[in-house]
Amino acid sequence: MPDPATTPLPDTDRLRARADACLRRCGAVPGPDAGDLVARTPITGGVLRRLASSTPEQVTEAVGAAHRAFGVWRTTPAPVRGALVKRLGELLAEHHEDLAELITLEAGKIRTEARGEVQEMVDVCDFAVGLSRQLYGRTMPSERPGHRLSESWHPLGVVGVVSAFNFPAAVWSWNTAIALVCGDAVVWKPSELTPLTSMACAALLSEAAADVGAPTDVHRLVLGHRAVGEVLVADPRVALVSATGSVRMGREIGPRVAARFGRCLLELGGNNAVIVTPSADPDLAVRGIVFAAAGTAGQRCTTLRRVIVHEDIADVLVERLIRAYAELGIGDPFAETTLVGPLIRAASGEAMAAALDRARADGGDVLVGGERVPRPEAPDAVYVRPAIVRMPGQTEIVREETFAPILYLLTYRTFDQAIALNNGVPHGLSSGVFTRDHREAERFLAADGSDCGIANVNIGTSGAEIGGAFGGEKETGGGRESGSDAWRAYMRRATNTINYSDELPLAQGVDFG
């Protein structure tokens, strides 16, 4: 098998041609190759295309168009709205390879992960279509005779979706498929690092709308940097802002939306851990740890960043992890033998190097990795070897999220100590425990166990299924997307009291004469 680290990278011109071909097949007309928004490929660091950012006026117009479309869409029967999402799912499946190719080109994901992201979009469309017939309310017993008490759910309005580069398509689909069947309109501001993938997805949704006769403006795409998102977030016609990104971003968006009494659904950072107990299946633990820590080059919000292992088995686990890391193929994400692709940009590599320096200063021992993998033919690309760092304790750098493949290893003596370490960070997204002790598993899932929105047993921290609600607590933002009852965030609730009697009794026995 060829070593991806030594296999030549593809030429940027060829990658550019592949991107343009994918866009055209998806129905996205690239337009002039000019503008202030530069779409680069992390594979080589080269430019794929230049685009024009949306102006503030264009963002305002997009919100207005979506708001007008919402006036029609909200009264469209939910199962009919589901037909739009069903058609979208069919088109996503038809263009599976084109979308996966764009994700690899723009985000640097290896092929299997890129294909998995597209499959996730297809799956969430299936889920949403079923949901379009299950937007259930409740009937509650009334304390007044001849009265019926119930609740109903209604479309919320325009949903502004702000997504990140690491899942340039799936996170959009989680929000958009659910919002559309709930009767909302959507305005999408994708990451400025992955505009081409978003153009392809938006074009397919426009085609789906035309095919089923849905309002074209029920979904609008706006492109650009921070200023574009600021206009979207500030618009009072945007009822819900669903934003995925850093904690810093969430701190800015949350207060702005709250100031105008809008709603926020925030999916922010994660500093995720797994506990490895003495009873754990070692093969299962190593496999789960390596994928969760090194997958997507450590650039997932659910990436495993901390392993908390019992001190009696720490040395054995470390030895096995080092052997596994030595086998990770690093290089061109299109190559079948590659398991770790590039970091998204130079700043990510710099952040990783700075974090490792701080870890060493805190007494950490870098056991493997951390160095840059040189690619003379692509000096602007950033390839690194995933690092494992044994730490003497949970220092400040360990408590921070570094969006790169650094895995900190900590030890514990009692299970209470392990849970305290798991919970001892500002984030609360994903977590896991590897154990064959039923009591440890149950304790981890209990109210005094993991404080994260996702708590797993004998599985890593990444790779959530769409059927469960996705999201986390604390500085992760508290939002929930995708499955379960996450649809409620995209709707408003009305409590209804119907009096079918000839009397007018008041609640709580109040007598008003």
Angle at 342 between CA 205 and CA 465, to 5 degrees: 50
Residues 289-318 have a mean pLDDT of 98
Please give the distance of CA 38 from its chain centroid, rounded to a whole number.
23
Residues 261-278 have a mean pLDDT of 98
- pLDDT for 272 equals 98
Two tokens, residue 290: 């390596």
Q: CA–CA separation, 342 vs 236, rounded Å?
A: 39
- Cα-based distances in Å from 378 to 9, 12, 81, 166: 8, 9, 47, 21
Residues 205-233 have a mean pLDDT of 98
- Which helix (H) or strand (E) covers residue 399, if one does? helix 396-399
Active-site annotation holder among 106, 267, 475, 481? 267
- pLDDT for 511 equals 85
Q: CA–CA separation, 417 vs 394, rounded Å?
A: 12
Is residue 480 scored above 80 in pLDDT?
yes
Domains and CATH numbers, the chain: 12-268+477-493 (3.40.605.10), 272-466 (3.40.309.10)
* Per-residue model confidence as pLDDT tens digits over 401-437: 999 999 999 999 999 999 999 999 999 999 999 999 9
* Per-residue model confidence as pLDDT tens digits over 349-378: 999 999 999 999 999 999 999 999 999 999
Helices (H), 132-262: 170-181, 195-212, 226-234, 247-259
Q: CA–CA separation, 55 vs 75, rounded Å?
A: 31
- Whether 301 sits among the annotated catalytic residues: the reply is yes
Say how many C-beta atoms besides its own lie within 10 A of residue 443's C-beta.
18
Is residue 460 scored above 80 in pLDDT?
yes
The torsion angles phi and psi of 115, rounded to 5 degrees, stand at -65, -40
pLDDT grade, residue 1 (50/70/90)?
low
- Whether 452 sits among the annotated catalytic residues: the reply is no
Is residue 113 scored above 90 in pLDDT?
yes
pLDDT grade, residue 391 (50/70/90)?
very high
Q: Which residue has the tokens 């070692």?
A: 282
The torsion angles phi and psi of 57, rounded to 5 degrees, stand at -65, -40
Q: Report the chain's mean pLDDT, rounded to a whole number.
A: 97
Q: CA–CA separation, 305 vs 321, rounded Å?
A: 14
Is residue 227 scored above 90 in pLDDT?
yes
Is residue 450 scored above 90 in pLDDT?
yes
Amino acid at 38: V
* Per-residue model confidence as pLDDT tens digits over 158-216: 999 999 999 999 999 999 999 999 999 999 999 999 999 999 999 999 999 999 999 99
Angle at 96 between CA 164 and CA 296, to 5 degrees: 40
Percent of the residues in the chain that have a pLDDT greater than 70, as a whole number: 100
Is residue 5 scored above 80 in pLDDT?
no
Active-site annotation holder among 301, 452, 475, 481? 301
Two tokens, residue 218: 């029920």
DSSP 85-122: HHHHHHHHHHTHHHHHHHHHHHH---HHHHHHHHHHHH
Is residue 29 scored above 90 in pLDDT?
no
Residues 296-301 have a mean pLDDT of 98
- pLDDT for 243 equals 98
- pLDDT for 27 equals 97
pTM: 0.96
Two tokens, residue 301: 């919000």
Q: CA–CA separation, 12 vs 485, rounded Å?
A: 44
Two tokens, residue 234: 């500030």
